[in-house]
Amino acid sequence: MLHVVWYKRDLRIGDHRPLQEAWREKEPILPLYVAEPSIWQESELSIRHLQFVKESLEDLQGAFERLGGSMFVTIAEMESVLGTIYESVGPFTLHAHEENGTPVTYERDKRVRQWMKDRGLLFHEYQHCGVVRGERSEELFKKDWKEFIETPVMNAPDSILTLDQEILPSTITTNMDTLLRFKIGGYRIKYGQQGGEGLAHETLESFLDGRFTRYKEELANPLASTNTCSRLSPYLAFGNISMRQVVQLTKEAIEQCDKSDDKKQLKAFNSKLEEHCRSIQWIEDHPQFACNSGNPTFDPSRDVWQEGFERWSRGETGFPIIDAAMRALIKTGWLNFRSRAMLLSFACHTLRMNWKEPADYLAGLFVDYEPGIHYKQVHLVVSPESMKRVCLYDPIKEGKKHDPEGRFVRQYVPELKHVPDSYIHEPWKYDGFFHLDYYGPIVDVGKANRHVRARMADVESSGDGLKKKEADKEGNEQIVFDLFTE
C-alpha cells in the first residue's frame, strides 16, 4: 500500500516522524507538499512565505534525490488531491504532523480527517513540537512537552523508495517551479533568510559556536540583535529544523560551556524555546484569537484611519525608530521582539487603529510568521487584561535608549544619514530639517499616548464605547502634530 507523507510546516527529512513511520512500512512513499488556495490566498500569508517554502522544498528535493527518491508538489485543495491519488493508485495511508494554526487550517484538517474516514482510510497524525491537542491541553503541556523534547532525535532514513511519477497525473509533479504559477500578494524580499534544512543547521551551529555570547544584553537592540539572536525563527516556523533538535543541541552546548556567563546566555535562550512552544499551545487552545479580539472591551477606543495605516505600513510616520523598524522588516522579513511590539503598539494604541489590519499586515511581512507566537504577541500588546498592562511606547525614548547613536535608523532611513546624533530621533528639531526629504511626525506622541490612556480607562470603567463618538473630534485635535507651532 502507498503511504502519503503530507508536508505542511515541517519541511525537513531529519527528526520527521510521519516520514519515519511511512518508511518503516517498507512500501512506496509519496512525500507531498500541497499549496492550497484556501490557505494561501486572501489570508495573512504572503509571497515571501511562499518564497521561503519553495526554497525549503528545493532543498528537500535534493535531500530526497540523494536517498534515491523524489519530493512532489501540487497546487489544489487537499481533499481534491486526495481524491486524485485515490483514483490513480487506490487505497493509501496518510501521515502528517498536526498543524497548530488558525481556524482556517483547523477546519481544513477536520475536513481531511472526515474525507479519509468516509473511505475507510487511515490517517495518522503526530505531535509537531510537543503541543497537546484536545481537552486538558494546558494542564498536560508542561509534562508532555518535556517528554517529547527529551525523546531521542530520529535520524533521516538511509534510503527512500518513492512512488514513480508516471503513475501520478501531471498535476502532481517533482518540479518545484510549479509554485511560481501560484499567485498571492505581498512583498518579495532579496535580503532575507533563505529556506532549507541545511541552512537551518548552519544557523544553529553558528549561534552555538559563539554568536550567543551577548544574547541577553542585545535582545532589545534592533541592530545588534540581528547577529546575537539565534535567527532560527523562520526555520522553526516552517520546520526546516525540529524544536527537539534545537533544544537537545543547546543543552549539549550548555554542558560544554566553561564560562558561567556563557551558560547563563544559553539557558536564557533555552527558556525561550519552551515559551515558543507554549505560544503555539495557546493558539491550539484558542484558535479564535487569530480572528477575534482578546479583550473586546478596548475595541471601541480604536477606529479606522486609512492615511495613518498607509504611512505606518510604508515606514513614513516621521518617527525615525518606527520608520526604520518598518523598512527593515519590509527589506529583510525580520525584527527583534521589542521592535515588533513597538510597531504594533504604535499602530493600535498611539494611532488608534483597529488591531486586525496592522496584525495581518505584519504577519505577511514576518518571514518567520508562526500564528501562535504572532497572535499571542498581538493580544498581549493590543488586548491586555486591564489598563495596568497596556503597552505604550514612546518612539523617541525607545530610539534614544536602544539606538542611541542612530546606527539602525541611518541604515534604513538614509534621508537622515547626515543628521547629528543629538537630533537623530527628533529630526524636526534640527535646523536643517526642512531641507531633508523626510516626513514630519504623524502625531504628537506624548498627547496621543496620554489621550489613549484616558480613553481606554474610560472604556474600561464604563464597559462600553458610548463616549467614543463624542471624544473623536476632541481626540483628533489633541493628537495631530503641528510642526510649525511646536
CATH number for the domain spanning 206: value is 1.25.40.80
DSSP state of 179: G
* Backbone angle region of 173, left / alpha / beta, with phi > 0 → left and psi within -120 to 50 → alpha: beta
pLDDT of residue 113: 97
485 within some domain: no
Q: What percent of the chain is helix, strand and coil (3-state, nearest 5)?
A: 55, 5, 35
The answer to whether 223 touches 82, Cβ cutoff 8 Å, is no
Read off the CATH number of the domain in which 33 is found.
3.40.50.620
Q: Label residue 486 by pLDDT band (50, 70, 90).
A: very low
User: 272 and 312: one domain?
Assistant: no
Annotated binding site: 215, 269
Q: Are residues 17 and 147 in the same domain?
A: yes
Residue 478 banded pLDDT, cuts 50, 70, 90: very low
29 — pLDDT class (breaks 50, 70, 90): very high
Dmax (CA) for the chain in angstroms is 78
Identify the burial level of 58 via C-beta atoms within 10 angstroms of its C-beta, where 0-12 means exposed, 13-18 middle and 19 or more buried.
Answer: middle
Q: Identify the domain boundary among 276, 304, 334.
A: 276
For residue 171, being part of any structural domain is answered with no
Distances (CA, A) of 78 to 8, 32, 74, 158, 238: 11, 11, 10, 29, 19
Residues 149 and 298 in one domain: no
Mark which of 158, 185, 220 sits at the end of a domain.
Answer: 158
The grid coordinates listed for 410 are: 541611518
**Domain-located, residue 184:** no
* Residue 465 in this model has a pLDDT that exceeds 80: no
348 and 231 within one domain:
no
CATH number at residue 315: 1.10.579.10
**Is position 43 within any domain?**
yes
Confidence of residue 458 (pLDDT cuts 50, 70, 90): confident
Calpha distance 95→467 (Å, rounded): 54
- Structural domain range at position 39: 2-158
At residue 286, the pLDDT reads 85
Q: How confident is the model at residue 383 (pLDDT cuts 50, 70, 90)?
A: confident
Compute the distance between CA of residue 358 and CA of residue 11 in angstroms, rounded to an integer. Answer: 28
**Statement: residue 388 has pLDDT above 60:** no
Number of domains in the chain: 3
Instruction: Tell me if the pTM is above 0.85.
Output: yes
* Domain shared by 48 and 74, yes or no: yes
Q: Name which of 34-48, 109-123, 127-141, 465-479 the model is least confident about.
A: 465-479
The residue count for the chain = 486
Summarize pLDDT for 258-302 with one digit per residue, the tens.
999 999 999 999 999 999 999 999 888 888 888 877 666 666 556
pLDDT of residue 81: 98
Which one of 158, 175, 209 terminates a domain? 158
Q: Does residue 323 fall inside a structural domain?
A: yes
- Which grid cell sits at 384? 491586555
458-467 contacts, C-beta under 8 A, 24 or more apart: 459/297, 459/298, 459/300, 459/301, 460/297, 460/298, 460/386, 460/387, 463/297, 464/300, 465/299, 465/300, 465/301
DSSP strand pairing (92-97 vs 123-126): parallel
Q: Based on the domain organization, do 56 and 147 belong to the same domain?
A: yes
- Measured CA to CA, the distance from residue 162 to residue 3 in angstroms comes to 9
Report which of residues 62 and 449 the model is more confident about. 62
Residue 441 lies in a domain: yes
One domain, residues 82 and 211: no
Check: CB of residue 285 under 8 Å from CB of residue 335. no
Binding site feature residues for FAD? 215, 269
